[in-house]
Structure 1
Amino acid sequence: MLNLRRGRYHARIARSPADREAALALRALCFRGGTRPDEDVHDAFCHHVLVEEGGSAAPVCTFRLLPLAAGREIGRSYSAQYYGLSALRDFDGPMVEMGRFCIAPGRRDPDILRVAWGAMAAWVDDHDVRLLFGCSSFGGTEAEAYADAFALLRERHLAPRRWLPRVKAPDVFRFACGRRRKPDLRRAMLAMPPLLRSYLLMGGWVSDHAVVDRDLDTLHVFTGLETGAIPPARKRLLRGVAAG
């Protein structure tokens, strides 16, 4: 059972209805401004991870994990609602979808993200996960605000052709089509969500389009990370965090 401590932070799997409610409350705050619940049919099949600070009654970070035995189960994932993932049905080996990742508003301590990734690394090692995937979100639905970020994704980080997700959602921004734009690297990285930056640093890849999600007021890209392709130095760093 996942149970990781680093400094003043502690990552663990939700064990009780109260733990699950705490995760859902933080999600509602982060994704819906605290005005509506944030819950869907996938929650019942997921493991919910809490990152807590010593002495705090509420989590500072949460995310959920949906384990899949292999690519043949990809249709069960949250991401499959928005992306054509038929190519990934041939993926051989355990997979896990990481979703609903959020950090409490105003919390900017980088150790929170480090502990979250350390927890993920521990899960990946314990379950021999071969592919980590999910939807990485940009705030708002105006694609032009992320022109440099999308140009950088197009130039350097598109999924391998054999795994490339197809368009499925009715409203998308096809950033890999049309006139090429040379990205400004500084602006691109400043606009990139922290979770997606972490994926990319480890060799992650993305879809060639972003889905416009007006319900959550986000643009998101499908993101995959084949664990066998993570650079050795990054693996050592993550395992060091996971070891506590």
Structure 2
Amino acid sequence: MTIELLNRELTPETNQAAAPTLSGDVLGRIGTLETRLARNDREIDAAQAVRYRVFVDEMNATLNPDAMRSHRDIDAYDAICDHLLVVDNAIEGDIEDQIVGTYRLLRQEVALANGGFYSASEFDIEPLLARHPDKQFMELGRSCVLPDYRTKRTVELLWQGNWAYSLKHGMHAMFGCASFAGTQPEEHALALSFLHHTVLAKGDWAVSARPELHCQMDLMPPEAVNARKALTTLPPLIKGYLRLGAMIGDGAVVDHAFNTTDVLVVLPIASISSRYVNYYGADAGRFAS
């Protein structure tokens, strides 16, 4: 496997890069879909309902009793995070009916003032932060998209929003958990081995799963990994990260509550290639002020 193959598999659809004129707080738009931050508690509640549909109804997650009763995926971090939404304006009805995807964004200054990052429960991120005292990190989490909208263009739109947000707040790097379905890492041996052998975070960007939770990712030797086949097994979100130049931390973590196997994605913004800076930045830069 080479990075060239990865880039060929994940080249942006250039006909989508011609962005329409945007206004107000909209961060990106493709067709009838737009991305922006939640404007009020009602929209955050609707995003939590979408998360419940994906994580519980579809992926069989087990949340705390209050969340299960309310049919909302909700935790303490929701109150301190910003919530990125994907809205389909073609759907008739209220905003609760139009939200088809969401992302939760947490800036370092906010996290440190409120007990730390969510990812720290699974990954030892403190050494990573300590090696970059001059940089500001943002955590991406709770990403989910309704089944009918799990397309390349929806992932593109989420990244349009993330990019605009990072520019606005002067972020230097993004990180966050990305998930494979199920709690048996061996079922994802090809994908995990591919990530370990090709895009493992090293040097100043190295980061590992917490020792007591660490699951090996190099389940297959490099020579046994079929790169093209491995790419087809990656979730679209992880493909989107890799397309931008992301790295993956050492070790996976099984999250029994959410019924997933998690990896940590690390993306220094300076590592994003110029073609993607142009692709996302040409439009998103307007919203950085």
Asked if Structure 1 and Structure 2 have the same fold, meaning a TM-score greater than 0.5 normalized by the shorter chain, the answer is yes
After the TM superposition, which segments of 4 or more aligned residues of structure 1 sit over 3 Å from their partners? Answer: 69-75, 169-172, 176-181, 240-244
1:206 has 2:248 as partner: yes
Question: C-alpha deviations, 1:154-180, integer Å up to 9, x for none?
Answer: 111111233322332644321147855
Question: C-alpha deviations, 1:161-216, integer Å up to 9, x for none?
Answer: 33322332644321147855531112211111111111112111111110001110
Q: Is the 8 A contact 2:32 2:90 kept in 1?
A: no
Aligned residues: 244
Q: 1:232 aligns with which of 268, 271, 274?
A: 274
Determine the structure 2 residue equivalent to 1:3: 26
Determine the structure 2 residue equivalent to 1:46: 81
Determine the structure 1 residue equivalent to 2:142: 100
Q: Give unpaired runs (5+ residues) of structure 2.
A: 1-23, 61-67, 92-96
Question: C-alpha deviations, 1:29-74, integer Å up to 9, x for none?
Answer: 1111178331111111100111101142331110110011499779
Give the greater-gyration-radius structure (CA): 2
- Give the root-mean-square deviation of aligned CA atoms: 2.5
Determine the structure 2 residue equivalent to 1:67: 107
Amino acid of the structure 1 residue aligned with 2:85: L
1-structure distance, mates of 2:98, 2:110: 34
Structure 1 residues 77 and 154: CA distance shift in structure 2, 3 A:
same
Amino acid of the structure 1 residue aligned with 2:255: D
Residues 141-150 or 127-136, more deviating: 141-150
Q: Is the 8 A contact 1:149 1:189 kept in 2?
A: yes
- TM value normalised by structure 2: 0.77
Q: Give unpaired runs (5+ residues) of structure 1.
A: none
Determine the structure 1 residue equivalent to 2:202: 160
Q: Is the 8 A contact 2:122 2:213 kept in 1?
A: no
Secondary structure of 1:60 counterpart: strand
Question: C-alpha deviations, 1:73-94, integer Å up to 9, x for none?
Answer: 7961110111111212222222
Structure 1 residues 149 and 96: CA distance shift in structure 2, 3 A:
same
Pairwise CA distance, 1:132 = 0.6
Q: How does 1:75-90 map to 2 (within 5 A)?
A: 76-90=116-130
Q: Is the 8 A contact 1:173 1:209 kept in 2?
A: yes
Determine the structure 2 residue equivalent to 1:58: 98
2-structure distance, mates of 1:32, 1:42: 18
Q: Decide which structure has greater strand share.
A: 1
- TM value normalised by structure 1: 0.90
Residues 169-178 or 100-109, more deviating: 169-178
